[in-house]
Amino acid sequence: MTAGEFLNLLVAALLLAGIYATMSFGMTVIYGVMKIINLAHAGFMMLGAYFAYELYQRLGVDPILGSVLAIPVFFVLGVACYFLLVRWVPTSDQPTLPSLLLLFGLWLVLQNVGYSVWGNTDRSILTPFTLSTIRIGPVSISTLRAVVFAVAVLSLVVLQLVLTRTWFGRSVRALTQNKLAGQIVGIDTQRTAALTFGLGIAFAGMAGALLATLYSFNPDFGRPFLLRSFVIIVLGGLESFSGVAVGALILALVETFTILVVPAGYQVAISFALLVVALLVLPGGVASLFERRGRAA
């Protein structure tokens, strides 16, 4: 492999990590506050893809702008889902079977709604930027992937500001670290949970819209990305927001560089293998390594 080829793969992995982190933060923030594994994440990503597609086809709205518009729309949808469905699930400090079944059922409902409305034909969003590239020295970068990466990183920066500079963000972090202590100091857990669920669904919708600009999609679109989100949050340590970014980078690097020796069709199998290795070798994720290092210091 030449240095130019290595740089091209490295840049491709970094761009991929940005969108992977965006699609996984929604699951992490919901798990952190509510201890719920949102299996419906895939269904909302699929809806986000069709949301951007319909805006582009019917109104001519650029899909990147569509991904930004998806944030408030899916936030409201997520809050509505919380009050209609999720809030009735018994609360616990661990994921429960009723919550898993409820959200798995919701995913199936969304998927079948997708088949009813759009059929099983693969769709794609083609814009003037789809095949455009930027060349910097020996590195060739897809313009669309660079724009998607920029939007993804910007959204994560805004999320970080919300989590660190607002009362809602402090409530989310407090409930993630110790739910009982948060309740004792007066945090409204139900209100925070509703807003958190809305935030998680907003990120799922936006990630689906961004992914739709890069890949073709159908109502089963979210399934392989749900698996990747699982891998990323396990690698990151389930409740660690910074760990998610590291997990996304690890998965993106592994997927990108293994393509040199393993056919692209086996990338899902690679994600499975990485998930198994992470659960066996590093069940606490990379966040546990940072904690051990902090205790040792």
Q: What is the pLDDT of residue 295?
A: 59
From CA 69, how far away is CA 67, in angstroms rounded? 5
Residue 70 has pLDDT above 90, yes or no: yes
- Residue 272 corresponds to which tokens in the numbers above? 């499975």
For residues 202 and 23, the answer to whether their CB atoms sit within 8 Å is no
With the CA atoms of 149, 214, 13 and 222 taken in that order, what torsion angle do they form, in degrees rounded to the nearest 10? Answer: 100
Nearest to 89 by CA among 36, 148, 46, 135: 36
DSSP 91: P
pLDDT tens per residue across span 134-149? 888 778 888 888 888 8
Please state, rounded to an integer, the average pLDDT across all residues of the chain: 84
From CA 290, how far away is CA 297, in angstroms rounded? 11
pLDDT tens per residue across span 9-55? 888 888 888 888 888 888 888 888 888 888 899 999 999 999 999 99
Q: What is the pLDDT of residue 98?
A: 85
Residue 296 has pLDDT above 70, yes or no: no
Q: What angle do CA 140, 250, 276 make, to 5 degrees?
A: 135
CA atoms within 13 A of residue 12's CA, in its CB half-sphere: 17
Q: What is the pLDDT of residue 4?
A: 75
CA atoms within 13 A of residue 178's CA, in its CB half-sphere: 6
Task: Count other Cβ atoms within 10 Å, centred on residue 59.
Answer: 8
Residue 143 burial by Cβ neighbours in a 10 Å radius (0-12, 13-18, 19+): middle
Q: What is the pLDDT of residue 84?
A: 92
pTM: 0.87
Residue with tokens 């408030």: 72
- Residue 78 corresponds to which tokens in the numbers above? 């997520």
Q: What is the pLDDT of residue 150?
A: 86
CA atoms within 13 A of residue 211's CA, in its CB half-sphere: 31
